[in-house]
Chains A and B, each alone.
Chain A
Amino acid sequence: MSDAARRTVLGAIRHHLREARSAGDELPAVREAGRGPPPRIGEREDLVREFATRLGAVGGVAWRVAGIDGAADCVASIAAELGATRIALSDAPLVRALRGRLPASATLVEVADRDAIASCELGITSAQAAIAETGTLVLDAGMERHRLASLLPRVHVALVPVELLVADLDAAFAAYATREVPAAITLVTGPSRTADIELTLVVGVHGPQALHVVLIDGA
């Protein structure tokens, strides 16, 4: 069935495009190299400032810390304030380095079992890039197992070395011109939100209610 449908659909498209051409329509060709303006390049401190402003504007929190020790302290205090009893960790080396530095009372969930992750109050991941233009995290599932840890718990903390900041969306996608596109790239900009009931904004629906991004110098 599917092959007949495929041939019919493509045949109909070709037929109607031919009709358009014969009626004198000039149909533009796809320009193989036609690109927009090149990605913006910014000074690191400007990018950090822009990222934090944009993230703050959508209800996320940006932290800036020195080294893995600073990151561990920051995450530990977030976990303590939350009173997290179960914490999901992704498999990134940066995240695994936190083991032993988080509140001893919390159980660490390091397996990819979704029910186990769903029962955590806090999920900790890293990110593969951060976009200053929009305050966005780029989660590349080919580099880290963080699809569920960044999604199921109520609070998501992402550890991001400052070197991974890029200026804009163009730069983030340009990285894939030379790299294989993984099964999933998730862009995350702030916590989940809805305004479906009387247009009242509620932060935290199906995804996390809070997002903390810990920017690390000298990670």
Chain B
Amino acid sequence: MSGTHKPMERFDHNAREALADGRLRSALRKATGQFGERRRAAIEDFGAEEWQALRERGRALKDEALASLDVLLERFASRATAAGTRVHWARDAREACEVVAGIATAAGAKAVVKAKSMTTEELRLDEHLTQRGFESVETDLGEWIVQLAGEVPSHIIVPAIHRSKESIAELFHEHLGTDPGADVIALTAAARQALRTRFLAADLGISGVNFAVAETGSILILENEGNARLTTTLPRVHVAVMGIEKVIARLADLPVFLRLLPRAGTGQRLTSYQSLLTGPGGRGGGEGPRELHVVILDNGRSRMLSRAVTRQALACIRCGACLNVCPVYQNVGGHAYGSVYPGPIGAVITPQLAGLGRGAALPFASTLCGACRDVCPVAIDIPALLLDLRAEVVAQPKPARRLERLAFALWSFVVRGRRRFEFATAFARFAQRFLITGDRIRSGPMALGVWTKGRDLRPLAKDSFRALWERGLKDEGTPR
């Protein structure tokens, strides 16, 4: 099954499984290709130079906020409290789940509706609430499909991209009794109807936060479907969960991010809806919830502040652009990463949040081509981060890496002496004759055989540059 949780330790294995799934790969190609194309068109329309300036401004605003994160979070908390919001803090996932479950219990809530939020997926909040006896329903169409099927999202913007419309029609037929041959429009209408009932019956709404404004104590949520508006308006209690890195200084900074995020994510000028919420709206006869709670979560983020290279990952605004351009992600999809944060940014965030022990394989799930850095709307240097994490992984003593270490030690010994180098390449030129098929080395003994299983190796040239030089190249090439 392509849609279930995979252990992140086994990225290699998961990737192979995903590569064998032809339907998944073509769905991924279509999605990543389409989003990439839309992003390019949106930026061209905006103006390449203007876009560059906007990225730099967005990044500078994030850097400023991260450098004063303690001050801004305290300011946010005090302004939010003054507006009637209840602010909670959580050191880790377990504590955050406890806080949310506590709020739900105190409110006497039974039915919970959720708007799409990666942070709550990081917490596995759904599982926790279900275990505690709450009935929690995802309301974003893609997330709901994935939840009905008992799966996990495969793409951060299109969570059910791994499923065909036929398989979704079947799923809806089973759960809602709709026509098994229903088309996309009919399926969407059925979802609206089924979920509208849930919205009207819910006592508690849970959402994430895209930006938190310190100046006003407000939270901002972006979306297209309207489910986040319903989640934050209809139930009498609303809980929003945010990572510490979501805070920005001023309300006037928002337009910068409102121009960056939709263009980078879906190629839209603006998503259909933004909700800027400052305190509960339902007091004194107004519309909206009677209680608004904001949970501020650390869960491994604060330690990323200590070094410039890791700190920049906290500037991420979760647009998904780096996933769509990544040649690895385009082929293996989100499930192989075994984390709610897949793709290039996931490969740098996951090991830092989950610890290098569990996420150690992920920094290697990249070709270092740099496409992610080029498209990032806040100019995060993801390849530099990947290299930094690789160095950290390699520095850990691990028996599995002994052969690799030995090979690199030998390599470094050989290339540091001219004689040794010449002897080694002469030997390799001799030995490779037995391995070349066509113009490539396609198989070999031992470690070379493992390496060539998935790749072809270009053989060494017949003569070295030095040999060509000695044989007359130096006379030809020198200008007089």
Q: A196 and B60 in contact (CB under 8 A), knowing A10-B73, A186-B275?
A: no
For A24, give the chain B residue with the smallest CB separation: B308
User: Given B64, B140, B168, which contacts A29 in the complex, CB threshold below 8 Å?
Assistant: B64
**B68 partner, pick from A29, A114, A192, beta carbons under 8 A:** A29
Which residues of B from 241 to 262 have beta carbons under 8 Å from A? Answer: 244, 249, 251-252, 254-256, 258-259
One of B191-199, B361-369, B408-416, B452-460 contacting the partner: B191-199
Q: Is B298 within 8 A of A112, CB to CB?
A: no
C-alpha gap A143/B227 in the complex (Å): 23
CB-defined contacts of B74 to chain A, threshold 8 Å:
10
Please report the C-alpha to C-alpha distance between residue A151 and residue B234 in the assembled complex, in whole angstroms.
11
Roughly how many angstroms separate A208 CA and B196 CA in the complex, as a whole number?
A: 12
Contacts of B342 in A (CB 8 A): none
Which residues of the other chain, A, contact B269 by a CB distance below 8 angstroms? Answer: 54, 58, 133-134, 189
On whether the beta carbons of B69 and A17 are closer than 8 Å, the reply is yes
Q: Which residues of A contact B30 (CB under 8 A)?
A: 199
Query: Contacting chain B: which of A67-75, A100-108, A174-182?
Result: A174-182
Given A169-B258, A192-B224, A197-B160, are A206 and B230 neighbors across the interface (CB < 8 Å)? yes
Contact partner of A187 among B66, B91, B160, B273, CB < 8 A? B273
Q: Is there an interface contact between B195 and A141, defined as CB atoms closer than 8 Å?
A: no
Which one of B191, B256, B277 lies within 8 Å of A183 (CB-CB)? B277
Q: CB of A41 within 8 A of chain B?
A: no
A36 pairs with B256, CB closer than 8 A = yes
A207 to chain B, nearest CB (A): 3
Contact call B252/A151, Cβ cutoff below 8 A: no
Say yes or no: A114-B270 contact (C-beta < 8 A), given A2-B99, A28-B60, A200-B184. no
Q: Given A9-B296, A185-B276, is A202 in contact with B65 using a C-beta cutoff of 8 Å?
A: no
Partner among A148, A184, A186, A195 whose Cβ is within 8 Å of the Cβ of B158: A195
CB distance from A22 to the nearest CB of B (A): 10
Question: CA of A206 to CA of B91 in the docked complex: distance in angstroms?
Answer: 34
Tell me the dominant secondary structure on chain B's binding face. helix
Tell me the chain A residues, 188-219 only, with Cβ under 8 Å from chain B. Answer: 188-200, 202, 204-208
* B residues in contact with A134, CB < 8 Å: 269-270
B95 at the interface (CB under 8 A from A): yes
Measured CA separation A9–B301 after assembly (Å): 10
Given known A13-B305, A16-B302, contact A197–B141 (CB-CB < 8 A): yes
Which residue in chain A gives the minimum CB-CB distance to B249?
Answer: A30
Q: Is the CB of B73 within 8 A of A13?
A: yes
0/1 interface trace, chain B 318-333, chain A, CB 8 Å (1 if under): 0000000000000000
Contact of A20 among B159, B274, B285, B307 (CB under 8 A): B307
B192, A205: Cβ atoms under 8 Å?
A: yes
In the complex, what residues of B have CB within 8 A of residue A49's CB? none
Q: Is B226 an interface residue (CB 8 A)?
A: yes
Which among A36, A148, A169, A205 is the interface contact of B287 at CB below 8 angstroms? A148
B278 proximal to A (CB < 8 A):
yes
Interchain CA distance A170-B95 in the complex, whole Å = 38
Contact A17 B70 (CB under 8 A): yes
B145 touches A9 (CB 8 A): no
A192 touches B273 (CB 8 A): yes
Chain A interface residue count, CB cutoff 8 Å, equals 71
Measured between alpha carbons, how far is A29 from B270 in the docked complex, in Å? 30
Contact of B188 among A6, A112, A194 (CB under 8 A): A194
Q: How far is the CA of A18 from the CA of B277 in the complex (A)?
A: 33
The CA-CA distance from A198 to B98 in the complex, in Å, is 36
Could you tell me if A176 and B251 are in contact, using CB atoms closer than 8 angstroms? Answer: yes
Establish whether residues B34 and A199, one from each chain, have CB atoms under 8 Å apart when the complex forms. yes
Once bound together, how far apart are the Cα atoms of A182 and B83, in whole Å?
9
Q: Tell whether, in the assembled complex, residue A193 and residue B184 are in contact, meaning their CB atoms are under 8 Å apart.
A: no
Contact of B160 among A148, A174, A186, A196 (CB under 8 A): A196
> In residues 1-38 of chain A, which contact B (Cβ within 8 Å)?
1-2, 5-6, 8-10, 12-17, 19-20, 23, 25, 27-31, 35-36
- Determine whether the beta carbon of A9 is less than 8 Å from that of B249: no
Q: Note all chain B residues with C-beta closer than 8 A to A183.
A: 83, 277-281, 286, 288
Contact B281 A147 (CB under 8 A): yes
Decide yes or no whether B131 CB sits under 8 A from chain A.
Answer: no
Complex Cα distance, B249 from A26, in Å, reads 19
- Closest chain B CB from A100 CB (angstroms): 25
Q: Give bound CA distance, A2 to B296, whole Å.
A: 10
Provide the residues of chain A in CB contact with B69, threshold 8 Å.
Answer: 13, 17
Q: What residues of chain A lie closer than 8 Å to B160, measured between beta carbons? A: 196-197
Q: Is B352 an interface residue (CB 8 A)?
A: no
Query: Counting CB contacts under 8 A, is B72 at the interface?
Result: yes
Given A168-B255, A170-B255, are A205 and B191 neighbors across the interface (CB < 8 Å)? Answer: yes
Q: Which 10 A-B pairs have the closest CB atoms?
A: A207-B226, A27-B67, A183-B281, A196-B142, A206-B226, A169-B255, A16-B305, A192-B226, A12-B302, A16-B306
Q: List 19 A-B contacts (CB under 8 A).
A: A1-B98, A5-B95, A13-B244, A16-B302, A17-B67, A17-B70, A25-B308, A58-B268, A136-B270, A141-B287, A170-B255, A173-B252, A181-B218, A182-B278, A182-B281, A184-B277, A188-B273, A198-B165, A202-B188
Chain A: residues with CB nearer than 8 A to chain B? 1-2, 5-6, 8-10, 12-17, 19-20, 23, 25, 27-31, 35-36, 54, 58, 112, 114-115, 118, 133-134, 136, 141, 145, 147-148, 151, 168-170, 173-174, 176-177, 181-200, 202, 204-208
